[in-house]
Chains A and B, each alone.
Chain A
């Protein structure tokens, strides 16, 4: 198993009446709500937390990209990852990821990811998301129906740029470059491991299978609701007759650990509430621009995570509702261990993105929950995939001077 401690870096100072006063946490909330001096404190506290996660034994630490919002304050996750290269030495830097259709020209992603891989000594795990509709279409102006074509072309350019040792010309529909010449190049050859965040489209399943990328389902509705979607993925894997390595898949889960179940509610309840009711308060008109998802995907009935969030009645869900529905895995180490075991088995995932900071959770609680998870939960979940030696070389980083990969050693 690989556990990545993931930070969304939300704005923690949204007022209590945020839902009533503002229609959306994304796209059109006024930026006067942002206070840069408080932002300075938040950024450094968040980076400290990521560094702390490495120190207690998480395999990876994760950041991602969002725009024009208070849900996640990393328009450039690469800047955050760059600071982490200097203050960490063991954990994978999981940048999940760069919305490659938004970079002009997208060679910028090949360059910056290469910089991060070189800086970190080969610890980069690169994510290539399409990006939410709020980010990609509304905040960055990409035409919805052309987003995926643009994404595919950017992907093609980046992979070619990493693979080539000589300059070449790239004549794309969206990007035309006479001289593609990626300096620096990544340490990991031919490329860092690549994770693709997906929301249930068949095209994305095939894209991951074709390229040996890990499929990451980032949902806030918990593992019970994710079961159907992940079954679709594993069914596709079976149809395509490729191996069923659990490391082909990852899942994001909201987790809160305390000494007892009762204590978990007391410590974390308000922050979970902040996350579901303020951070996920997206205006439905921004959740899914027409043309952003393909007709085929809509026909499968899959909804984007934010459309789902908009459809759910979070304001009226109690702590018990969120726990019973497993939106949130929370409680004593033993409770959390049992549920995480169930999650890993039912979804068949080798990667878990642990969301242990939520909304406006203060630093001491974040560290408490993180430490309990690392010390009292994680060790019991290490041997979930013994038939895969608990590691799959294809879907994890290869740092410089790394000892022989575990899988190869066992063979």
Chain B
């Protein structure tokens, strides 16, 4: 995996882009947690595709979060990034919050997104099946919320820092405030910005992937997405939680290869 930077014009926003692999272009949009250290999904996808994974402003070294306030701002920003990357008919893959953004892109610019893959996307809300509030969770609660195998997930999430060290803690809090501060503009307090009214506009060939053990966004949300997007297929993956791509990277890669 290598990192490069993209400067958007005329805003001057600087975007960090992680790239890996060779093959057909695949754009990957991360979830609210950003990329994981040595992200297993990006690594797996890179064995068959040229993966291009920009970081949303507020994440990593990407700047410009203050100018993005709502769903439309973020969707148009993501379309600007897609255009600036000059990708050839990429498969647009988005996980969780990234899936919500990808779905919005495909709904708004349906001529520009023709292959869409949504991994446990956010963006819908079913009253009878509320989605957990990630913003009030403490760090130790996250592995159980994101992974079916919480212990293995904990190891994936570990950033190698000592939370007892005040300097590390401060850095962690700053990073968290930037990332989840940005994510909150799309997901707080309810991760619904009206996507349900726009899903019908999606014309892309769409693959929806859900971990069968997802406790953050329950798997039946997958059915709701499938029902609302005309050319879509839903694949459920066993023994996987919300971070389905990081927990079962090979299975997700296989599903994408089979579908596109």
Cβ contact within 8 Å between B181 and A144: yes
A145 CB-CB contact with B under 8 Å: yes
Cβ contact within 8 Å between A298 and B188: no
Of chain A, the residue at the smallest CB distance from B173 is A298
B174 CB-CB contact with A under 8 Å: yes
Cβ contact within 8 Å between A298 and B174: yes
If A290-B179, A291-B177, A298-B170 touch, does A143 touch B135 (CB 8 Å cutoff)?
Answer: no
Cβ contact within 8 Å between A137 and B178: no
Give Cα A301–Cα B190 distance, bound, in whole angstroms: 30
Chain A residues with CB below 8 A from B100, complex form:
none
Chain A residues with CB below 8 A from B176, complex form:
290
A-B residue pair count with CB separations less than 8 angstroms: 64
Of chain B, the residue at the smallest CB distance from A294 is B177
A137 contacts which of B137, B173, B189, B190 (Cβ < 8 Å)? Answer: B189
B189 contacts which of A138, A173, A293, A298 (Cβ < 8 Å)? Answer: A138
Give Cα A143–Cα B69 distance, bound, in whole angstroms: 10
Give Cα A27–Cα B136 distance, bound, in whole angstroms: 11
Per-residue contact bits, chain B 120-138, to A (CB 8 Å; 1 contact, 0 not): 0000000000000001111
Q: Interface segment, A124-132, A281-289, A312-320, A377-385?
A: A281-289
Give Cα A286–Cα B188 distance, bound, in whole angstroms: 13
Per-residue contact bits, chain B 47-77, to A (CB 8 Å; 1 contact, 0 not): 0000000000000000001000100000000
A141 CB-CB contact with B under 8 Å: yes
A299 CB-CB contact with B under 8 Å: yes
B184 CB-CB contact with A under 8 Å: yes
B236 CB-CB contact with A under 8 Å: no
Cβ contact within 8 Å between B179 and A299: no
For residue A381, give the distance in angstroms from its CB to the closest CB of chain B: 37
Taking chain B's interface residues, is the majority helix, strand, or loop, or is none over half, making it mixed? helix
Give Cα A141–Cα B182 distance, bound, in whole angstroms: 15
Cβ contact within 8 Å between B174 and A144: no
- Choose among A138, A143, A291, A301 the residue with the greatest number of B CB atoms under 10 Å from its CB: A291
- Choose among B177, B179, B185 the residue with the greatest number of A CB atoms under 10 Å from its CB: B177
- Choose among A286, A290, A301 the residue with the greatest number of B CB atoms under 10 Å from its CB: A290
Cβ contact within 8 Å between B177 and A143: no
Chain A residues with CB below 8 A from B185, complex form:
143, 145-146
How many A residues are at the interface, by size bracket?
A: 20 to 34
**What is the total number of residues of chain B having a CB less than 8 Å from a CB of chain A?**
24
For residue A250, give the distance in angstroms from its CB to the closest CB of chain B: 28
B202 CB-CB contact with A under 8 Å: no
A291 contacts which of B137, B138, B170, B182 (Cβ < 8 Å)? Answer: B182
B184 contacts which of A145, A295, A301 (Cβ < 8 Å)? Answer: A145
For residue A68, give the distance in angstroms from its CB to the closest CB of chain B: 12
Chain B residues with CB below 8 A from A290, complex form:
135, 176-177, 179-181, 183-184
For residue B171, give the distance in angstroms from its CB to the closest CB of chain A: 9
B174 contacts which of A27, A143, A284, A295 (Cβ < 8 Å)? Answer: A295
Give Cα A144–Cα B176 distance, bound, in whole angstroms: 12
Cβ contact within 8 Å between A286 and B177: no
Cβ contact within 8 Å between B188 and A144: yes
Of chain B, the residue at the smallest CB distance from A144 is B184
Give Cα A145–Cα B173 distance, bound, in whole angstroms: 14
20 contacts between A and B (CB under 8 A): A137-B189, A138-B189, A141-B188, A144-B181, A144-B188, A146-B69, A283-B136, A284-B138, A285-B137, A286-B136, A289-B184, A289-B188, A290-B180, A290-B184, A291-B180, A291-B182, A298-B170, A298-B174, A298-B177, A299-B170
Extra inter-chain contacts (12) besides given A145-B185, A285-B135, A285-B137, CB under 8 Å: A137-B188, A141-B188, A143-B188, A143-B189, A144-B184, A146-B69, A283-B136, A284-B138, A289-B188, A290-B184, A291-B177, A294-B177
